[in-house]
Structure 1
Amino acid sequence: MNEEDAVYEIHVHGDVAVRKDVGFSALEQALKPLWSYVQARSLMEAASSIYEGEPGIHFDPQEHVLHLCWTLRGDDDFRQQLDDVCMNLNDVCATGASIEVTFYDAQYDEEDEQAGRDVNDDFVLLFVGPTPEAIMQAQRDLLVEDVVHLMERHFDAAELSGVVGEIDKLFSDRLSALASSLQLGRPRHGADHGPNPGSSRRPRYLH
């Protein structure tokens, strides 16, 4: 695909703890859906972001953590690569983790914003983990963090234990029903994370 004709600038962001027995070559193979999409011959060749201020794709061998802050140009077909890389990461990660993927409309510019034209951005929240329980734990932790952050504007943290307990119950019920579902490792489009029409854009990560 000609990068000049790309529909989106796609930003992939997250930190994934990798099992201690997983080496760089295995991780490179797990991430092949990403680097092959940009027609690279290896992970190292594709690791740099199109923006110099972003770390790109980086594996810390001491901490055994995969750091993702990587922007590429692409199209809607990149969503299939996300499915594939999630399934691969499930096989090498040590704990559950979330990965945020933002699709920025590459054709949208300042003139469109000033004119109030709709922007065709999208946001996908992915979860990976070695087991369904680990994926659920990552989902639960992120939801608790978001809810507590929102409600602490109005309530003391000590007053929110009941809310956290209800969230735990919801996830316990879901795990009982969906523990064997393959959908656990696939992208989840929440009500707040679907297509984003309008002129308001999700801010980029700054480093």
Structure 2
Amino acid sequence: MNDRTTSLRARGATTVIDSASHRVLRNTYLLLSLCLGFAAVSAGVTASLGLPYPGLLLTMLGYFGLLYLVTANRNSSRGVAFLFALTGFMGYTLGPIISMYLRMPNGAQVVMSALGGTAAIFLSLSAVALFSKRDFSFMGSFLTVGILVAFLAGLAAIFLQMPALSLAVSALFVLLMSGMILFETNNIVRGGETNYVMATLSLFISLFNLFTSLLHLLGFASSRE
């Protein structure tokens, strides 16, 4: 093996990652860990201070505005700064949600189960993407359409006050975000994604939505016991 490749083996299968992809993967995981830590601190501060949820309109404006700034500056250091701003803002919106679940009976167990489930899904699917010879790029179009449909259905569930539809959307998001983790990691490994800021953004959003969706489903299940 030459010094420009890194071989990863699992159960006899080999995926060869060239040096450029390996660098993107390493930088992505490093930046992702920092962003997750920053979001967790932001959520913890928000929850401890009892700050209110900013509301749907402000959340959407903040999210899409910062998302645009990250994307527009993805090739400069400003992109990293805006990425931290976005993850910090999303952590802020998460604080009141976690506080609400913690006030429920078995709330702490629900939160920890959602966190553990998110970690388990991420690690499992990342391993599949790293060690599998299969190319998962075919999932891109399906995931894009699925996320758009789920997002619109989620808005409909909020405005029409339909709890059953909201639960269905959460279940769908668990599947879609799991697919996004697999797709994005595979995309990095195969050299399709060369910008670690955008790769981090995609994985962070996937983990955030996966966690909140599991939280919703587990919270509902706990309330029915």
Structures share fold, TM-score greater than 0.5: no
More strand by share: 1
Q: TM-score range by the shorter chain?
A: under 0.3
Normalising by structure 2, report the TM-score.
0.25
More helix by share: 2
Normalising by structure 1, report the TM-score.
0.26
